[in-house]
Structure 1
Amino acid sequence: MLKRKKTKIVATLGPATSTKEVLKGMLDEGADVFRINFSHANYDDVAERIRIIRELNDEFGYNAAILGDLQGPKLRVGVMKEEVFVNPGDEIIFATGERFEGTKDRVYMTYKQFPQDAKAGERILLDDGKLIFEVVSSNNVDEVTAKVIQGGPLKSKKGVNLPNTNISQPALTEKDIEDAIFACSQQVDWIALSFVRHAEDLMQLQDLIKEHSENKIPIIAKIEKPEAVENIDKIVAYCDGLMVARGDLGVEIPAQEVPLIQKQLVRCAKKARIPVIIATQMMETMIDSLTPTRAEVNDVANSVMDGADAVMLSGETSVGKYPVQVIKQMSNIIKSVEDSPLIKVPQSPPHIRTKRYITKSICFHAANMANEINAQAISTLTNSGYTAFQISAWRPSAHILVFTSNRRILTQLNLLWGVKAFYYDRFVSTDETIEDVNKLACDKGYLQEGDMLISLAAMPIHEKGMVNTLRVTEITKSSM
């Protein structure tokens, strides 16, 4: 039987992925989710790209999801007048107020509240931590004086990180609010929020989505600040997925601490039964080269073995020379490691008796039983997608086949590990429906004669309630 990967690939859209042919090539090689980076997005281009992706889904039977990634409060310096090089010991003023062209003595800072938030002794990191400054003093109005600790070229519009500063700016900026409203109008499948620090940041976005979208759009919290790691237990209660955004995280936190934090965050997501994406520099050299480095191959493999639902490409597909080939390389790495017995998932059965306790328990036992009896697939009928999240989080060795009459979740579920969703709207009796679904799974090449299948359903079936039934079937010639 054809080997299919279960770990999903998120590919960032950009100038390199602007044609239907390239997008189709990426889907053919294993892209599952397309990410819109709102830091660099033009609404007309985005709308056109979304239209093409949905057209490809309809034409070729794909379920590619669209992830809108909000920029968040990204801090930057302004434009520099000429080339500037700063040396250790130099003093420089970071000024807010009116925009101006920077020099080696004064540089513009986009973050208006910086003089009120900055305290003496705190660090200012520029250009992914290549330049390091220490706050000397602030006039509390519009200027912060800082001393250079680690020097180098100070370039225009470079990103600023303030790892020790308690930032008063909200996680949702005015730009993010506009972008989120646009994303809702395009009915994207997921929205990611950058620089999440507290659960309240997510609540604000939830309210905005409720106001501007008829359908629920699940939220991914991007973890890239130390406060987020500290508040992770509260954050997972208010989001539908996590992204380990290792770029800014590796600047705000010492880079050597990121590997263990990555493992901690994946474990946290697994316990919360929500998907987790590992992002940043996964196949960076493939922006210009046809071959990844051994370290990059190892990084992708280790992220899969940590238990990530998805691995993400940024520049590799948005501006890289080989957007289709990088997806192919990544798919090959995933397929070669994801069935390893070395991958361990936290196996604690659900114990909190919420109203969904029975569904959770059935999903847990279905995943375990599938491994015990070597079932080829677990099939589930769902209207909300809840069972798909639950089964996927237990990482069964079986395929997870989801049948739904809710077209909205067909693409949404494409981010989840191991999940393949199909449109199905014929809900008759339980027996007939399960037979129907079994036949569909055989037709799609997921099952053959002699295979074991676990079917989950809610009885009575026409009420589309919570899953309360588990049934085991051996596929016979007559059921195919």
Structure 2
Amino acid sequence: GATALSNPSVSNRRVSMLLGNGLMNPNFKMSMSGNNPSVSVSGTSNRSLQSSVSGKAQASLATSQPQYTTRPALMYTLEGPAIRTSRLRDHQRIQLAAGQIMNLIPTVDPEFQGYLDPSTGEAMVGVVMENFCEKVETGDEILLAEGAIRAVVEEVDLVKKRIKTRVNNKAKLRERRMVEVRGKFIDQPLLSDRDYDAIKFISKNHMDFVSMPGIRSVADVQLLRDALDKANCSSVKILSHIDTSAAIRNYDEILDSSDGIVISRAYLGMRIPAEKVALAQKWMCTKANLKAKPIIIASQLLDTMVDAPRPTRAEMTDVANAMYDGADAIMLREETANGDFVNKAVVVASAILQHA
């Protein structure tokens, strides 16, 4: 039994890698050790980066281990209706301290660069949503970076289009982090112009899957399927992200209309009580297994490996428990998109899955 589980040729468990800036690391290689991985391209506006990811994955078969007879599956993750922070100057993280002022500046320019003002010590961070000022009010709690950074709104200046917040905790802010206003649903179109542009890229580069954040109902799944049909890529399979309370309520219908499910735990944990996420994960996996629909568990699996070469024991146990819950795959996100140990993260995840 142990020998069979450790042999990747007889294991169907997979590691999905979300690739981004980590691809540009000169030490990066498309790791094929352990389980045959799938590769996910994020909804970045950098077309050269997207093409590089696709090209490396397509070419990986030539250097893969002999037991692999197909290339890694290619998955494109659309941006969806999520609100995100802007780029940061020189791509450098901003060190935030408890009590520090962080000014949020609504912008329509996804390439706006946030920075730390040395003269005032205040952080200036863009939020890629033009009318964001109109959606918040004094006293609102803003969550950034999957809830790792919390700030309270102290002032909303509609003239200067600036939101003054005070940070609650010490943290480092990376660029393009998700923004959430606790307790408020900010309605936005499921598919943006950037997503429709990305669908053309999906069609041109023969992606196998498209994963869609922000799915709330069957109507959302159908909207995406119609968009894929119009782009002549109806064969692309749809993986619906479960990352909102509405998606939980409509889970059975979303499961039936999708080709598979992605449980986005970090985002879900900002929208339902965090202590209920583990139970929701088990419940969703069981239902997907009963209907023979693939289900992927994503986010914060080996989060320590963004900055460190080894995960914690708790993280390793979490990856194994994902398999015991009935998941077909795990998705490494920050670990491989922006981490310093991309290859090691994939190797570690694969080793855990082989022995789970």
The residue that corresponds to 1:38 in the other structure is 43
Distance change >3 Å, CA 224–CA 163, structure 1 → 2? farther
CA deviations over 1:237-290 (Å, ceiling 9, x no partner) = 331111112232233444333212222222232244311101123223344555
Q: Is the 8 A contact 2:210 2:239 kept in 1?
A: yes
Paired letter, 2:32: L
Q: How does 1:65-80 map to 2 (within 5 A)?
A: 65-78=73-86
Instruction: Output one character per residue of 1:277-310: Cα deviation in whole Å (capped at 9) or x when no partner.
Output: 0112322334455543211221011110000011
**Offset from partner CA, 1:133-170 (integer Å, 9 cap, x none):** 45578688985756647255785744311242222211
Match for residue 12 of structure 1? 18
Match of 1:294 in 2: 313
CA distance in 2, matches of 1:84, 1:331: 33
1:108 is displaced (CA, Å) by 4.0
Name the residue aligned to 1:126.
Answer: 144
Residue 80 of structure 1 and its aligned partner are, at CA, apart by: 7.8
* Deviations 1:42-62, CA, capped at 9 Å, x for gaps: 243134224313555798523
Q: Is the 8 A contact 1:283 1:316 kept in 2?
A: yes
Give 2:73's aligned amino acid: A
Could you say which residue in structure 1 is the equivalent of 2:204?
185
Q: Does the aligned pair in 2 maintain the 1:193–1:222 contact within 8 Å? A: yes
For 2:76, the aligned partner's letter is G
TM-score (ref. length: structure 2)? 0.76
Unaligned runs of 5+ in 2: 5-9
Residue 63 of structure 1 and its aligned partner are, at CA, apart by 4.6
Distance in 2 separating the partners of 1:12 and 1:202: 22
The aligned counterpart of 1:468 is none
Are 2:16 and 2:330, in contact at CA under 8 Å, matched by a contact in 1? yes
SS of 2:32's partner is: helix
- Separation in structure 1 between the aligned mates of residue 65 and residue 13 of structure 2, nearest angstrom: 23
Larger radius of gyration: 1
Deviations 1:68-95 (CA, angstroms, capped at 9, x unpaired): 1112234234478997967659796754
TM-score normalised according to structure 1 size: 0.58
Residue 211 in 1 paired to residue 230 in 2?
yes
CA contact 1:78–1:156 (8 Å) conserved in 2:
no
Counting matched residue pairs gives 335
Q: Secondary structure at the match of 2:206?
A: coil
Map 1:2-401 → 2, pairs under 5 A: 3=4, 4-14=10-20, 22-23=29-30, 26-39=31-44, 41=46, 42-53=49-60, 55=62, 61-78=69-86, 95-96=106-107, 104=122, 108-118=126-136, 122-134=140-152, 143=161, 148=166, 150=168, 152=170, 157=175, 158-287=177-306, 289-318=308-337, 320=339, 323-337=342-356
Q: Give the residue type in structure 2 aligned to 1:38.
A: G
Q: Which residue of 1 aligns with 2:7?
A: none
Specify the code of the residue in structure 2 equivalent to 1:13: L
Q: 1:113 to 1:27 in 2, by over 3 A?
A: same
Query: Structure 1: which amino acid aligns with 2:265?
Result: R
Distance in 2, matches of 1:303 and 1:93, equals 36
Output the CA distance in 2 between the equivalents of 1:136 and 1:21: 43
Q: Give the Cα separation in 1 of the matches to 2:234 and 2:126.
A: 41
SS of alignment partner, residue 22 of structure 1:
coil
In structure 1, runs of 5+ residues without a counterpart are 338-480
Deviations 1:411-436, CA, capped at 9 Å, x for gaps:
xxxxxxxxxxxxxxxxxxxxxxxxxx
Which is further off, 4-13 or 143-152?
Answer: 143-152
Report the secondary structure of 2:235's partner residue: coil
* CA distance in 2 between partners of 1:86 and 1:124 (Å): 15
CA distance, structure 1, for counterparts of residue 20 and residue 165 of structure 2: 37
